[in-house]
Chains A and B, each alone.
Chain A
Amino acid sequence: MRELISLQVNGERREIAVLQHHTLLEVLREDMGLIGTKHGCELGECGACTVLIDGMPVLSCLALPIEVQACDILTIEGLEQNGKLHPLQETFAELGAAQCGYCTPGMLLAGVALLRKHPHPTREQMKEYLAGNLCRCTGYTKIYEAVEVAAQRMSTGEEQPMRPEVEEYHV
């Protein structure tokens, strides 16, 4: 059975008919064409499908769209704003934090949430926060470096926090 719901994704509100049992991941990818969100396991194990819901990282393969109609959903496609990449996107590209790129959208969104919680994260804070996002290519080293450089650039006022911080959303 399809149901007409309304989702706010990347600042755009859209009405969409979804199958009730389909996950947010399926709806984003299959119904809305937002293929930047990846799937690595569809069981909540790998973190590739991470999106931000009201600013907090959520595994979209475990979220139901019907439950997040009142929320602000951010996918990788919405991270770039006004033609300008988020500083973390820039440093991921410049410093080699994306190899095959498959974990990258999820890792970036988790990283953006990390920087919002800890504007100058220590390595330990990074490890704690990014532990739900697997990367099979980098050994994580270049990812940490990209987060560190982005944090520096953001603290020099190059970039404002994107959206106000809200309560943690646990899945």
Chain B
Amino acid sequence: MSKQEQNRAQPVHPYTIVGTPRAKVDAYAKVTGRAVYADDILLPRMLYGRILRSPHAHARILSIDTSRAKKLPGVLAIITGEDLPQKFGILPSSQDEYALAIDKVRYVGDPVVAIAALDPDILDEAIKLIQVEYELLPALMSIDEALAHPEVKINDEARIGNIHKAVSYEFGEIEAGFAEADYIREDWFYYEGNNHAPLEAHACVAQWEPNPSDPIGGKLTLWTSTQTPHYVHRELSKVLGIPQSHVRVIAPHVGGGFGGKSDPFSHEICASELSRRTGRPVKITCTREEVFLLHRGRHPVKMWIKTGVRRDGSLTAMHFRSFLDGGAYGSYGIASTYYTGALQTVTYTLPCYKFEGMRLFTNKPPCGPKRGHGTTQPRYAVEVHLDKIAFDLGIDPVELRRRNLIEPYSYTVNGLRITSCALGECLDRVVERSGWNSFHADKQIVAAGLHAENGASSAVTTVKRGMGLAASSYICGAGKPIYWNELPHSAVQIRLDRSGGVTVYCGATDIGQGSTSILAYIVAEELGIQIGRIHLQTADTALTPVDLGSYSSRVTFMAGNAAIAAARKLKEQLFQVAAERMQVSPERLYAVNDVIYDEDDPGVTLSFEHAVQFAEARFGALVAAGSYTPPEGIHGDYKGAGVGPSPAYSYSTCVAQVAVDEETGEIVVEKLWLAHDVGQSINPLLVAGQVEGGAYMGYGEAVMEQQIFRKGRHKIPSLLDYKLATTLDTPEIETILVEIPDREGPFGGKEAGQGPLNPVIPAIANAVYNAVGVRVDEVPITSDKVFKALRNQSQGKGMGLQPSPIETPSPWPTRLIKWQPEEHQSAMKRQSDHTSLQEGVL
């Protein structure tokens, strides 16, 4: 069987729940206002907390005087850096943050003092009474400044100057690859970065419950708007010096995250410490401005690409460099740096690939993960770069991509294992649905002046239409955990009650994407029961087994497989007793809609409730657990190979249609067509929702969202000035779901949360070029930039607007790691063929 055939050979299962559109399990709570979010929690005797943040981008703290604020009636506690001297950070390799600044502040917004008071009005007064004396230091506000001034050391984590992390890899023989090329092109790109802007600002409530008989003195509960309760649990324990056994972190309903609620935050630690000091619950709700300042948004990245191609469009080599503006702290930045290079090989086959990346510290809010984490910027650059190559060679851009598609069930040159891949199908579908061929045929006719009707009308208008296309891929969960260990990445417990109730426990955190619903659908499908009898307990470190969190698009794949594993154990027990009662063999049984049937004689049945009672009588309490760990053998064996591997990859393609006014540069994105390879939809309504949301967010990043600073400050930290797409802006989005089940995904399912964003930005960029013939090689592509590019072109100053190159450090400030895939791949393939798949994997 060929690889393409293997890819298609999955049987189609007659599911009763999976694959059918239905309301989310929490939909009715959300439409009635009953859903409780962190800021909605009001506890008896609760205090309010707030954080005083640095007004300076870079300064030494000379003194902090809180004495006047302390005397204000209603102020109950004030803490500063020295009260919480333990460093923390999401990555074990970047422990560089303090809950409150010690000695130095590194960006406007760095937390300095935290206060708890009886109400927010008192906090307003108290915060004005705190005096902090600063000595100003030079602030470095860009990649170029950070490189130019190594003597201004922003963060001690930087080993050389302000270089936080530098990486350098060569996979295969890069020189040989370029030697095979008929054509080589180089380009620079810049992606400005942006904030997630979830509608719910970060908020938390901490409650310390003292217990004098406990050697620790009590227990802490934190309700917080987070995507990663498990990591908050770890870091909170570390900074507060309270064992994890005495800390409980709960994520209530979360009002959107998009990556912005994946770090442990200062306000979470401060609320907890203030609660411990006062013995009362403390709530801290961030303002919208604070959300822009604590940030962790998409990194600004400057990128250089050099690609070699043969005349027929097949790629022979790629050399990619990324420079990330990390802001003042590490956050996920080391992973982000790797991600700017790791997935270039997953969309198109590259015979050899060189990647050099570096992240710089600057005096700006720390950057981190945003939907598409680290892969969005290079995807934009690569897809525009390939579009340029297609035009240079006179090859249709769709054709160029088609000639280089990665093969399903293969290994990449950097050692990543690819399983199912429906990229070709996505490409076909999006081309067909968008009318790509006829649009471009018509455009050529018009351009040649041969089309009388359209030709006449286009002569009088300055608005030109264009269509652009791009493709992308994304991980279905990081193959490695954030802190290295051999523990499961996700676990699910299911308890069956003798009354027929089913309770599912899982640490998975629903941030609106529907992960809680997915657990219910999967358990209901596997047990053959109605969703209504399922109770769900999620995202509570005291009640639920660990799921690492809602990041890296991992939850459906990993928690889904864990849920299947747990449900199968219970199903086995139920079928064993049912078979005896029904006097048939267990193999003949199947369960649907709360009833167990004999396959050969569907008249012979047993109800789910009865089966549960018989099983409990036989086995005792009915509780089962399942867990999921990604398989081994899905990555290379070089240092740094832990970023990029995933148990599966999703694929997306996008076509954008734009209208650009040649006179003003105004861009209107008229429509986006997005095809997404999701393996198998667990609930197509939710998948479509993720695709549409990703397309919307990508659109906003492409044309309007700006992350700009003036005199060390974020220039527009409000939802009025920071432009987000409203109903009036957002283009029509057509979603196309492509379903070729993945062998290891739950019921064949793959991710949908992040991947669909990635192709949108380059598709729009390519469409702008197609419309007016200029390239704006930086994002966002705003109207003023298009205007400038058009002016440059008309004045004979090139084809558009290109970012200024960065003077590349020579030598690159880290050792080159050279890695040859061939031997390793064949070894891995042998291993993976023999490794029995992890528990719960289909």
Pick from B24-32, B60-68, B210-218, B825-833 the stretch touching chain A: B24-32
Task: Tell yes or no: A159 within 8 A of B by CB.
Answer: no
Question: If A96-B24, A136-B258 touch, does A38 touch B37 (CB 8 Å cutoff)?
Answer: yes
Report the nearest B residue to A134, measured CB to CB: B724
A104: contacting residue among B31, B688, B697, CB under 8 A: B31
Pick from A43-51, A52-60, A63-71, A161-169 the stretch touching chain B: A43-51
What string of 1s and 0s marks CB contacts (under 8 Å) between B620-642 and chain A?
00000000000000000000000
Report the nearest A residue to B34, measured CB to CB: A36
Residues B288 and A41 in contact, CB atoms below 8 Å apart: yes
Task: Tell yes or no: B693 within 8 A of A by CB.
Answer: yes
Residues B31 and A108 in contact, CB atoms below 8 Å apart: yes
A99: contacting residue among B23, B37, B40, B514, CB under 8 A: B514
Residues B727 and A126 in contact, CB atoms below 8 Å apart: yes
Residues A104 and B30 in contact, CB atoms below 8 Å apart: yes
Residues B719 and A95 in contact, CB atoms below 8 Å apart: no
Residues B689 and A138 in contact, CB atoms below 8 Å apart: yes
Chain A residues lying within 8 Å of B39, measured Cβ to Cβ, are 39
Report the nearest A residue to B687, measured CB to CB: A96
Pick from B5-13, B192-200, B391-399, B487-495 the stretch touching chain A: B192-200
B35: contacting residue among A92, A96, A101, CB under 8 A: A101
Among A29, A38, A90, residue most surrounded by chain B Cβ atoms (within 10 Å): A38
Residues A136 and B197 in contact, CB atoms below 8 Å apart: yes
Residues B696 and A134 in contact, CB atoms below 8 Å apart: no
CB < 8 Å A-B pair total: 166
CA distance A101 to B724 in the complex (A): 18
Question: If A35-B33, A36-B33, A40-B288 touch, does A45 touch B256 (CB 8 Å cutoff)?
Answer: no
CA distance A100 to B30 in the complex (A): 8
What string of 1s and 0s marks CB contacts (under 8 Å) between B475-515 and chain A?
00000000000000000000000000000000000011110
CA distance A29 to B23 in the complex (A): 28
Residues B727 and A102 in contact, CB atoms below 8 Å apart: no
Task: Tell yes or no: A11 within 8 A of B by CB.
Answer: no
Task: Tell yes or no: B524 within 8 A of A by CB.
Answer: no
Question: If A77-B33, A94-B23, A139-B692 touch, does A100 touch B198 (CB 8 Å cutoff)?
Answer: yes
CA distance A39 to B728 in the complex (A): 22
Chain B residues lying within 8 Å of A46, measured Cβ to Cβ, are 199, 288, 719
Q: How far is the CB of A169 from chain B (nearest CB, A)?
A: 21
Question: If A41-B288, A131-B726, A136-B199 touch, does A100 touch B511 (CB 8 Å cutoff)?
Answer: yes
Chain B residues lying within 8 Å of A38, measured Cβ to Cβ, are 37, 199-200, 255
Q: How far is the CB of B700 from chain A (nearest CB, A)?
A: 9
Residues B695 and A139 in contact, CB atoms below 8 Å apart: yes
Q: How far is the CB of A68 from chain B (nearest CB, A)?
A: 19
Task: Tell yes or no: B720 within 8 A of A by CB.
Answer: yes
Within 8 A of B (CB), among A87-111: 89-90, 92-96, 98-105, 108
Chain B residues lying within 8 Å of A100, measured Cβ to Cβ, are 198-200, 253-257, 511-512
A103: contacting residue among B28, B199, B689, B696, CB under 8 A: B199
Residues A95 and B32 in contact, CB atoms below 8 Å apart: no
Residues A137 and B689 in contact, CB atoms below 8 Å apart: yes
Task: Tell yes or no: A19 within 8 A of B by CB.
Answer: yes
A128: contacting residue among B28, B32, B256, B728, CB under 8 A: B728
Q: How far is the CB of B522 from chain A (nearest CB, A)?
A: 18
Q: How far is the CB of B124 from chain A (nearest CB, A)?
A: 11
| Total contacting residues, chain A, CB less than 8 A | 55
Within 8 A of A (CB), among B232-288: 253-258, 287-288
CA distance A127 to B732 in the complex (A): 11
Q: How far is the CB of A107 from chain B (nearest CB, A)?
A: 10
CA distance A127 to B40 in the complex (A): 29
Question: If A19-B121, A102-B200, A136-B197 touch, does A89 touch B31 (CB 8 Å cutoff)?
Answer: yes
What string of 1s and 0s marks CB contacts (under 8 Å) between B103-129 and chain A?
000000000000000000100000000
Task: Tell yes or no: B685 within 8 A of A by CB.
Answer: yes
Report the nearest B residue to A144, measured CB to CB: B727
Question: If A19-B121, A77-B33, A138-B696 touch, does A40 touch B201 (CB 8 Å cutoff)?
Answer: yes
Chain A residues lying within 8 Å of B26, measured Cβ to Cβ, are 101
Residues B31 and A92 in contact, CB atoms below 8 Å apart: yes
CA distance A102 to B727 in the complex (A): 16
Q: How far is the CB of A32 from chain B (nearest CB, A)?
A: 11
Report the nearest B residue to A76, measured CB to CB: B33
Chain A residues lying within 8 Å of B258, measured Cβ to Cβ, are 136
CA distance A159 to B121 in the complex (A): 44
Residues A105 and B719 in contact, CB atoms below 8 Å apart: no
Residues B288 and A139 in contact, CB atoms below 8 Å apart: no
Q: How far is the CB of A148 from chain B (nearest CB, A)?
A: 14
Q: How far is the CB of A37 from chain B (nearest CB, A)?
A: 7
Task: Tell yes or no: A156 within 8 A of B by CB.
Answer: no
Q: How far is the CB of B705 from chain A (nearest CB, A)?
A: 11
Residues B27 and A92 in contact, CB atoms below 8 Å apart: yes
Residues B199 and A40 in contact, CB atoms below 8 Å apart: yes
Question: If A43-B720, A137-B689 touch, does A89 touch B32 (CB 8 Å cutoff)?
Answer: yes
CA distance A43 to B289 in the complex (A): 11
| Total contacting residues, chain B, CB less than 8 A | 57
A139: contacting residue among B32, B253, B514, B733, CB under 8 A: B733
Q: How far is the CB of A3 from chain B (nearest CB, A)?
A: 15
Task: Tell yes or no: A135 within 8 A of B by CB.
Answer: yes
Report the nearest B residue to A123, measured CB to CB: B732
Report the nearest A residue to B39, measured CB to CB: A39
Question: If A93-B28, A99-B693 touch, does A37 touch B33 (CB 8 Å cutoff)?
Answer: yes
Chain B residues lying within 8 Å of A94, measured Cβ to Cβ, are 23, 27
Q: How far is the CB of A79 from chain B (nearest CB, A)?
A: 8
Task: Tell yes or no: B607 within 8 A of A by CB.
Answer: no
Task: Tell yes or no: A130 within 8 A of B by CB.
Answer: yes
Residues B32 and A36 in contact, CB atoms below 8 Å apart: yes
Task: Tell yes or no: A17 within 8 A of B by CB.
Answer: no
Task: Tell yes or no: B36 within 8 A of A by CB.
Answer: yes
Chain B residues lying within 8 Å of A98, measured Cβ to Cβ, are 24, 27, 30-31
Within 8 A of A (CB), among B720-740: 720, 724, 726-728, 730, 732-733, 735
Task: Tell yes or no: B686 within 8 A of A by CB.
Answer: yes
CA distance A132 to B728 in the complex (A): 9
CA distance A165 to B90 in the complex (A): 53
CA distance A46 to B713 in the complex (A): 22
Chain B residues lying within 8 Å of A48, measured Cβ to Cβ, are 199
Residues B692 and A40 in contact, CB atoms below 8 Å apart: no
Report the nearest A residue to B287, measured CB to CB: A42
CA distance A30 to B48 in the complex (A): 12
Task: Tell yes or no: B718 within 8 A of A by CB.
Answer: yes
Within 8 A of A (CB), among B173-213: 196-201
Task: Tell yes or no: A157 within 8 A of B by CB.
Answer: no
Report the nearest A residue to B692, measured CB to CB: A139
Chain A residues lying within 8 Å of B31, measured Cβ to Cβ, are 85, 89-90, 92-93, 98, 101, 104, 108
Residues B32 and A85 in contact, CB atoms below 8 Å apart: yes
Task: Tell yes or no: A160 within 8 A of B by CB.
Answer: no
Q: How far is the CB of B519 from chain A (nearest CB, A)?
A: 17
Chain B residues lying within 8 Å of A130, measured Cβ to Cβ, are 727
Among B36, B37, B256, residue most surrounded by chain A Cβ atoms (within 10 Å): B256
Residues A141 and B255 in contact, CB atoms below 8 Å apart: no
Chain B residues lying within 8 Å of A39, measured Cβ to Cβ, are 39, 201
Task: Tell yes or no: B42 within 8 A of A by CB.
Answer: yes
Q: How far is the CB of A22 from chain B (nearest CB, A)?
A: 9
Q: How far is the CB of A63 from chain B (nearest CB, A)?
A: 18
Report the nearest B residue to A88, measured CB to CB: B31
Could you write out 9 A-B pairs with CB less than 8 Å apart? A36-B32, A38-B200, A76-B33, A92-B30, A92-B31, A101-B253, A132-B726, A134-B719, A137-B693
The 4 closest A-B pairs by CB, nearest first: A36-B33, A100-B512, A139-B696, A102-B255
7 further interface pairs, Cβ-Cβ under 8 Å (given A36-B33, A105-B33, A133-B727): A40-B199, A41-B719, A43-B720, A93-B31, A98-B27, A101-B253, A137-B256
Which residues of B are in contact with A by a Cβ distance under 8 Å? 21, 23-24, 26-37, 39-40, 42, 121, 196-201, 253-258, 287-288, 511-514, 685-686, 688-689, 692-693, 695-697, 718-720, 724, 726-728, 730, 732-733, 735
